[in-house]
Structure 1
Amino acid sequence: MSLHHTLTAAAVAGLFAMPAAALDLTKMSAEERSIFRQEVRSYLMDNPEVIMEAVNVLEERQQQAQVQADLSMVTDNADEIFNDGFSYVGGNPDGDITLVEFLDYRCGYCKRAHGEVSKLLETDGNIRLIVKEFPILGEQSVLASRFAVATKQVAGGESYKALNDALMTVNGDVSLPMLRRLGTTLGLDTAAIEARMDSADVTEEITRTRALAQKLRITGTPTFVVHDEMLRGYLPYDQMMEMIKEKRG
């Protein structure tokens, strides 16, 4: 009996569940391959939902693979992520869950996430926050990050937090005069901070964070590391809280 008569619609459907190696087209004759392709095309035209089912399965597998890859990357780079010795540490420094954020002050989603993260820290009270300066949206982003890192180095963590909060609420262009005014409003020694902005120490912090981001394949902001898992993008407060609860088991 020919392949044309034996290859029913059910058989074609079954092919989509088979490993690729289970069907060897090279063992078919030219006529059999032609019949096979016609049957497959006819089946897909009659049952287009199969294509979407296959796409959904592929996307799910890709997502699972990404999660596993992220877990491995976090494990392999844990010391640099959680204990680099220079990134700002806020929230509860002794918290049982660590939340790491890679941010850019020119990023609209970072600004949205800032309020969510602040609410999370206030509500939970047992989260350790690490902020990593990752300016990727142009010269203004770099200028803002250099001013912020210099503030941390010159005036300490509390002053950095105040500036970080302020920068996340500012709209419009970032310029040195604007940063000076903002710093003065916060009571900072803007002259000392400005003198520090282009120092090797400030450059090293930003360079090391960029290198870490490259290892973690981070290409956008905000990006979070929640305990052992990476979250690429903005997540509303309720979903972030749920994620924290899951990590606590």
Structure 2
Amino acid sequence: MKPLMTAAALAMLLASPAAAFDPANMTETEREAFGEAVRGYIMDNPQVLVEAINAMESRRIEAEAENDKLLVEANSAALFEDGYSWIGGNPEGALTIVEFIDYRCGYCRRSAPELDKVVAEDGDIRLILKEFPILGQESDLASRYAIAVRQIAGGDAYKAAHDRLYELRGGVTIETLGALSADLGLDAQAIVQRMNTEEVSSEIRQNRQLAERMQIMGTPTFVIGPELLRGVPTAGLAAVIETIRAEAG
């Protein structure tokens, strides 16, 4: 019987050329000894395991980021030139930001003031909002209302309604939306009638299909230039925008 492999022998084996190390040719005893030696090395040097896990996580994040860039590129027309989504900021801005929103999403509500501030202060950002109601019936109702407002009364009315929908507390109902229309000086009856039409449903359906293609499952989701950000960046939008611009040269 061959002697059990020691940690020193393991180190020599791992230092040998790759071709010299062939686990398939090990005996059962050697395999058991090799496993014990590896376990012993990790127990004595646990930082190696942490380093390996961190390296794997880093590679995973890099691969996902690269895949997200490919998704943005493949869906660029639907993202940036769909012909129906509201466009704000500077329509000729060099950098485009797309946000997928849900009016019942707390993160969307909290990030909206920061986004508006960044767009206003920057002056070179084209902002596109994608209605993406995913949090239930009230979300769908709110998005249908916002789209109907835009289709009937235009972009300025849409942005005013958009901001007020984020401020709503309590349930979203036809009654609360009617009161909101009155506050904004809009034709409540015309908007309610438009909400369940195919013109409105088509926009929501296309946005959902786009989100499915891009594997977007939550809000807010941002597309900033070539980058896809799934959620609110912890560093803040301004810092992320600065980094993306710097990387673009």
TM-score relative to the length of structure 2 = 0.91
CA, structure 1 residues 111+11, in 2 after alignment: closer, same or farther (shift >3 Å)? farther
Q: Distance in 2 between matches of 1:95 and 1:211?
A: 27
Q: Which residue of 1 aligns with 2:141?
A: 143
What letter is aligned with 2:64? Q
Q: Which residue of 1 aligns with 2:158?
A: 160
What letter is aligned with 1:197? M
What is the deviation of 1:109? 0.6
Contact map agreement 2:6 2:33 (CA 8 A) in 1: no
Q: Which residue of 1 aligns with 2:240?
A: 240
CA, structure 1 residues 51+99, in 2 after alignment: closer, same or farther (shift >3 Å)? same
What is the deviation of 1:23? 6.0
CA, structure 1 residues 13+29, in 2 after alignment: closer, same or farther (shift >3 Å)? closer
Q: Distance in 2 between matches of 1:169 and 1:146?
A: 17
SS at match of 1:154: helix
What is the deviation of 1:13? 8.0
CA, structure 1 residues 12+228, in 2 after alignment: closer, same or farther (shift >3 Å)? farther
Q: Distance in 1 between matches of 2:38 and 2:238?
A: 45
What letter is aligned with 1:144? A
**1:85 and 2:86 are equivalent in the alignment:** no
What is the deviation of 1:240? 3.4
CA, structure 1 residues 47+104, in 2 after alignment: closer, same or farther (shift >3 Å)? same
Q: Deviations over 1:11-57 (max 9, x none)?
A: 68879xx99x9964322111111001101111111111111111110
What is the deviation of 1:112? 1.3
Q: Distance in 1 between matches of 2:168 and 2:21?
A: 59
Q: Distance in 2 between matches of 1:218 and 1:43?
A: 42
Q: Tell me, which stretches of 5 or more residues in structure 2 are unaligned?
A: none
Q: Which residue of 2 aligns with 1:128?
A: 126
Q: Distance in 1 between matches of 2:20 and 2:178?
A: 67
Q: Distance in 2 between matches of 1:24 and 1:219?
A: 44
CA, structure 1 residues 180+22, in 2 after alignment: closer, same or farther (shift >3 Å)? farther
What letter is aligned with 2:240? M
Taking the TM superposition and a 5 Å limit, the aligned residue runs for 1:1-249 are 4-5=5-6, 7-8=8-9, 10=11, 24-235=22-233, 236-246=236-246, 249=249
SS at match of 1:4: coil
Contact map agreement 1:221 1:233 (CA 8 A) in 2: yes
Q: Deviations over 1:115-140 (max 9, x none)?
A: 11100111101100000000111111
What letter is aligned with 1:125? G
Q: Taking every aligned residue pair, what percent have the same amino acid on both sides?
A: 45
CA, structure 1 residues 25+227, in 2 after alignment: closer, same or farther (shift >3 Å)? same
SS at match of 2:84: coil
Q: Distance in 2 between matches of 1:130 and 1:247?
A: 22
Q: Deviations over 1:76-102 (max 9, x none)?
A: 111111001111111100001000000
Q: Distance in 2 between matches of 1:174 and 1:12?
A: 68
Contact map agreement 1:134 1:206 (CA 8 A) in 2: yes
What is the deviation of 1:177? 1.1
Q: Distance in 2 between matches of 1:187 and 1:202?
A: 21
RMSD value over aligned CA atoms? 2.4
Q: Which of structure 1's runs of 4+ aligned residues deviate more than 6 A?
A: 12-15
**3-12 vs 207-216, which moves further:** 3-12
Q: Distance in 2 between matches of 1:200 and 1:228?
A: 31
